[in-house]
Amino acid sequence: MHPSPSTDLSRAAALAADAADPLAGFRARFTGTDDDGPDRLLYLDGNSLGRLPVETPAAVARAVEQEWGQGLVGSWADWIGHARRIGDLLAAGVLGARPGEVLVSDSTSIDLYKLLVAAADARPGRDVLVCCADDFPTDRYVVAGVAEQRGMTVREVEAHVDEGLDPGVLAAALDERVAVVVLSQVAYRSGALVDVAEVTRLARAAGALVVWDLSHGAGAVPAELTAAGADLAVGCTYKHLNGGPGAPAFLYVRRELQDQLRQPIWGWFGQRDQFAMGPAYEPAEGVDRFAVGTPPVLAMAAVEVGVRITAEAGVERIAAKGRALTGLVVELADAWLAEHGVSVASPRDPARRGAHVSLTHPAAWQLTQALIDRGVVPDFRTPDRLRLGPAPLYTRFVDVWDAMARLRTVVADGSWTTYPTERARVT
Amino acid sequence: MHPSPSTDLSRAAALAADAADPLAGFRARFTGTDDDGPDRLLYLDGNSLGRLPVETPAAVARAVEQEWGQGLVGSWADWIGHARRIGDLLAAGVLGARPGEVLVSDSTSIDLYKLLVAAADARPGRDVLVCCADDFPTDRYVVAGVAEQRGMTVREVEAHVDEGLDPGVLAAALDERVAVVVLSQVAYRSGALVDVAEVTRLARAAGALVVWDLSHGAGAVPAELTAAGADLAVGCTYKHLNGGPGAPAFLYVRRELQDQLRQPIWGWFGQRDQFAMGPAYEPAEGVDRFAVGTPPVLAMAAVEVGVRITAEAGVERIAAKGRALTGLVVELADAWLAEHGVSVASPRDPARRGAHVSLTHPAAWQLTQALIDRGVVPDFRTPDRLRLGPAPLYTRFVDVWDAMARLRTVVADGSWTTYPTERARVT
């Protein structure tokens, strides 16, 4: 277990935790981490967009200038394998999956659509899709779209907004009508974690498939897809995997299922013997059949750097530090902010938390703006959530301490009341 | 009309045509064009992957290092508008469309799927999709997949493999059962051009919608979508638009149709008031409803450079030079290669040609390999086509002349016979 400063909430204890941090060396691998002054930027939004690794500009420049500029079309000899090769790095180093099960491709929303339709097709005669009423919008919307297109019914299960989904509530929603369950491993607002293995077992017992959305957890908490028996998953590489804004997503299909499934968008990169350009679509063997169009090779250069750093640090170590960092947020919130009307809106049990914590306050939007003006970057989630994501690879305990101290100042001196309200923003 | 060297096939005439070329200055805007020696690389594959503009590395580095590295999540204030903003540049400068009609998004295959499903939904009661039997694989495959998913029938019209699609043949395939026609403006093998306005009129008369695939023409020949009355189109930015390998594609939806259509992949970037994260999907107004997931903003920096250069040069001027360059290929092939069994497999009428020419020879694969070893990059298309795409922005008449001279040497001296056959490659 990672050293936690939880028994001593002093700044000195935070500094001591940093001195004992086995991941401390990774901070220098990210740009913007060299300013150590008292007014430095405290970036707690790596759960939305991860920081830029120091190696990434050169990797992208190499892809642009050498591979494209000089290698031209001949570079396709290498590029053609990137989606699988980087997928295998993700599988082995981050997701706990086997070679040939992960592909870097498209966006999370599109990968979710592909796997959801494939899964629904694999459960003929079942007419219900299950999702979580508090899940990230794109998950709920994609489910609704597929249901409408296919004449299926959506069954939304309720999660506790702060504590996450109770597996018993999910179990009660599973019956012989359910074809597919779509669920995030880590809830986007509360950061609540669900047990992939447990939900997979529940769904399988009911004859349903689960498509996991690992977006808010990949690179921050273990997925261990093979050990969990997971069938299908998608996820994002621009959050905890530090792959860059709008970086391509990934999809995972358990090896034993691949040849039974077909996805609905029949593009030429999913075709067997692609360059024969034959008359009829025949899906490639293995995970390649879930590819569609020409892969975004320049963007993948950045994804590869992020994935390698995460694999090198180790997801278990990252998750352990993440629990300690978010634990410090929770303890400081209780100690400093509760009296000012700010409450913790995430699970208090570290084993049930992903890598971010939400705080709630009726004026969360104003607090967010006031914090940004004081050099702390959180994010806001409607209607009243302030999300703090201390990324273990580059956030120190002292950064969390200082950010919470600035938040304490903002709430205590009432300066947030001078900022426009959320209502003013959206209208 | 651009000066054509067609009356004089000497190298001096090619040099004279270059001296009179109003686009000559654009060549220096691309990397790898400064070697002027007799053994220089002659890149005639810009129709597959366009060259790297000189400005692109700095534009990408700025997006990576400043926007991502320093601006972090705050850069979304700008990034959120990139898909529309660059779409508007494409609309005005390249496609002849109006503001708010073009979005940079996803891949060509995925954009085609989205618009095809939207179009089929807009023609209820019609059960036939029409495509061209000789069209690019992804077009035919996407059509087949949508047809299977919806229980529709595919009607494939035959095009002449060298001369392209006869509009009369298409007209004969259009009746009250046809919901949507999918068709490439420029055929990927022959380079044959179809008239967007004429086909649009034919389809409209039959009550069908056309989804144009502009991949092989965008940036090389005018589309003039508004003037042609086109309803829907998709296309690629990594060929003649020089946006980089796997660069995001674009989609076009005529303004008057946008609010009547819905696409099937309901992602959060297509949602009205996206950050309200509301319970139900409600498509955004306008072309934004055709967006799905988080857009690939780093890759878009490269797309923007390519689009701006094309718009600056002007598609009409590019197309005029393209006709002259491909005309020179045709005339030199007739003069030098016909006696060695190489024939022109593209329309001879320049008005019916896109920006590449195919030559046919039973050993086209071996000729391709021999040419690459002699510093000419063409590409091969199964079974017997050698494709030459002299990109007007950076290919000179003398480059075409020298490439054809090297090809003449290869076919005349029989050295290609020492290369393995296509059969050896694919087995």
pLDDT digits (tens, 9 = 90+) for A182-196: 999 999 999 999 999
pLDDT at residue B246 above 70? yes
Half-sphere exposure of A257 (CA within 13 A, CB side): 24
Tens digits of residue pLDDT in A52-70: 999 999 999 999 999 999 9
B387 is catalytic: yes
Q: How far is CA A33 from CA A50, A370, B69, B293, in A?
A: 13, 22, 11, 30
B7 is in an annotated binding site: no
pLDDT at residue B4 above 60? no
pLDDT of residue A277: 83
pLDDT at residue B265 above 80? yes
Residues from chain A contacting residue B264 (CB–CB below 8 Å): 113, 145-146, 149
List, in order, residues 6 or more apart from A109 with CB less than 8 Å away: A138, A142, B265, B267, B268, B269, B292, B293, B294
pLDDT bracket for residue B392 (50, 70, 90): very high
CA angle B339, B343, B349 (to 5 degrees): 125
3 state SS of A348: coil
Q: Please provide the CATH number assigned to the domain covering B11-53+314-426.
A: 3.90.1150.10
Residue to substitute from B56, B65, B104, B109, interface A, most A β-carbons within 10 A: B109
Give me the residues of A, 241-300, that contact B with CB < 8 A: 244-249, 264-269, 271, 273-281, 292-300
Residue pair B251/B290 in contact by the 8 Å Cβ criterion: yes
The pairing of strands B128-132 and B178-184 is parallel
pLDDT of residue A382: 86
pLDDT of residue B320: 98
The closest alpha carbon to B93, from B235, B257, B184, B224, belongs to B224
Tens digits of residue pLDDT in A93-126: 999 999 999 999 999 999 999 999 999 999 999 9
Using a 10 angstrom Cβ sphere, with 0-12 exposed, 13-18 middle and 19 or more buried, the burial of residue B340 is: middle
Q: Is A49 on the interface with B (CB under 8 A)?
A: yes
Q: Do B277 and A379 touch (CB under 8 A)?
A: no
Q: How far apart are CA B131 and CA B51, in angstroms?
A: 31
B252 is in an annotated binding site: no
pLDDT at residue B55 above 50? yes
Residue of B387, B396, B406, B408 marked active site: B387
For domain A11-53+315-426, which architecture applies? Answer: Alpha-Beta Complex (3.90)
Residue pair B267/A138 in contact by the 8 Å Cβ criterion: yes
Q: Do B106 and A293 touch (CB under 8 A)?
A: yes
| Segment B205-227 mean pLDDT | 98
What residue ranges of chain B are covered by domains with CATH 3.40.640.10?
80-312
For domain A80-312, which architecture applies? Answer: 3-Layer(aba) Sandwich (3.40)
Residues from chain B contacting residue A299 (CB–CB below 8 Å): 246, 296, 298-299
Strand partners, B376: B42
Residue A217 tokens, joined = 């957890």
pLDDT at residue A376 above 70? yes
What residue ranges of chain B are covered by domains with CATH 3.90.1150.10?
11-53+314-426
Residue A281 tokens, joined = 């679509």
Tens digits of residue pLDDT in B314-329: 999 999 999 999 999 9
pLDDT bracket for residue A427 (50, 70, 90): very low
pLDDT of residue B278: 85
**Residue of chain A with shortest Cα separation from B114:** A265
Q: Is A294 left (phi over 0), alpha (psi -120 to 50) or beta?
A: beta
Tens digits of residue pLDDT in A135-177: 999 999 999 999 999 999 999 999 988 889 999 999 999 999 9
Tokens 């005349």 — which residue? B412
Q: Do B145 and A72 touch (CB under 8 A)?
A: no
pLDDT at residue B1 above 50? no
The pairing of strands B178-184 and B153-157 is unpaired
List, in order, residues 6 or more apart from B290 with CB less than 8 Å away: B103, B105, B111, B114, B115, B118, B251, B253, B263, B270
List, in order, residues 6 or more apart from B343 with CB less than 8 Å away: B333, B359, B360, B361
Strand partners, B386: B359, B380
